[in-house]
Amino acid sequence: MNSYNASTLPMATFSSMLAQSSQSLIMAQQQIDILQRNASNMSTAGFKEMITTMLPDKTGGIMSAVKLNFSQGDMGAGSKNDAAIQGNALFITQSNTNDLIYTRAGEFSVIQQNGKVFYGIRGRKALGFKIVNGVTRSTAEVIDITDSTNVGILPDGTVVADVDSDTPTPLYQLALAEFHNPEHLEIEDALSYRPSRITGQPHKIEAANNPTGTINSTVVGQQRELSNVNAAATNIEMVSINRLLTMVQNTGFKAIDTAYKEAMKILG
């Protein structure tokens, strides 16, 4: 005859099954949320697909983690204020609190602040290496275009004044940052990232298209890097996850209901 503590075994089983089913539901919902975010950004220039992976946790269970798919997006035509990166580097921007935020989205615009005019991305000042008398300085700084007119980016990636003239004036080379394991950057928003514990701070910051530089990336002006989300694969994965969610809901809660009823029988 089996011996057990009637006051703990059924309820422990019930609690365990409830925890497992709840965890499965949460992970499935997280995957759906990520897939929906990917789908909604299929047309967003500079967007990097997010991928959910399953990892073992310290308790022997499973936890989900999100990382970035840093594969190259296709190039598309842009305006004179657009730039795209070929390679794994990122543009550098500075927030209002002076934090450095990194992005692949190269849609630049004018930012007016405290009587000055800056060149930036997503409302944050962009960093660049100033060009003075044809020489590019060695330190990155915010791109100040207060005294410049008709600023834009040439096809070679140089930020210039009078971009539409036959003799544009070089102002800055865009600053690029390179990380180890950029797929593990911390997600700030759909198009922006911060360093994470895994990536650490950028191991290289250089002027774009520097012939003596060591960053293996190129900036192309008047182009946009398109989203790297694969629409067909995302749709297939969405269907699979929805089926998994339905299965978890059906089988998980049936098992919980059975365990609960057995527990009630034993406990009277």
Instruction: Give the pLDDT of residue 9.
Output: 45
- At 135-192, the pLDDT tens digits run 999 999 999 999 999 999 999 999 999 999 999 999 999 999 999 999 999 999 999 9
Band (pLDDT 50/70/90 cuts) for residue 56 is low
d(CA 152, CA 159): 6
- In this predicted structure, the answer to whether residue 59 has a pLDDT above a threshold of 90 is no
Least confident of 72-81, 121-130, 200-209, 232-241: 232-241
d(CA 176, CA 88): 10
Residue pair 93/100 in contact (Cβ under 8 Å)? The answer is yes
- In this predicted structure, the answer to whether residue 232 has a pLDDT above a threshold of 60 is yes
Predicted TM-score (pTM) of the model is 0.79
What number is the average pLDDT over the span 76-90?
96
Where along the chain do its domains lie?
9-42+229-267, 75-225
The residue with greater pLDDT, 192 or 254, is: 192
Residues 6+ apart with CB under 8 A from 205: 92, 140, 175, 176, 177, 178
Amino acid, res. 38: N
Token reading at 148? 């410049």
Mean pLDDT of the chain: 84
- In this predicted structure, the answer to whether residue 6 has a pLDDT above a threshold of 50 is no
Instruction: Give the pLDDT of residue 4.
Output: 45
Token reading at 213? 């530089």
- In this predicted structure, the answer to whether residue 8 has a pLDDT above a threshold of 80 is no
The residue with greater pLDDT, 40 or 199, is: 199
Residues 6+ apart with CB under 8 A from 67: 50, 51, 53, 183, 184
Instruction: Give the pLDDT of residue 34.
Output: 85
Instruction: Give the pLDDT of residue 24.
Output: 61
Instruction: Give the pLDDT of residue 14.
Output: 47
Band (pLDDT 50/70/90 cuts) for residue 39 is confident
The tokens 């198009």 sit on which residue?
191
Residues 6+ apart with CB under 8 A from 134: 170
The residue with greater pLDDT, 102 or 3, is: 102
d(CA 74, CA 229): 10
- In this predicted structure, the answer to whether residue 72 has a pLDDT above a threshold of 50 is yes
Instruction: Give the pLDDT of residue 22.
Output: 59
Per-residue H/E/C for 46-100: CCCCEEEEEEECCCCCEEEEEEECCCCCCEEECCCCEEEEECCCEEEEECCCCCE
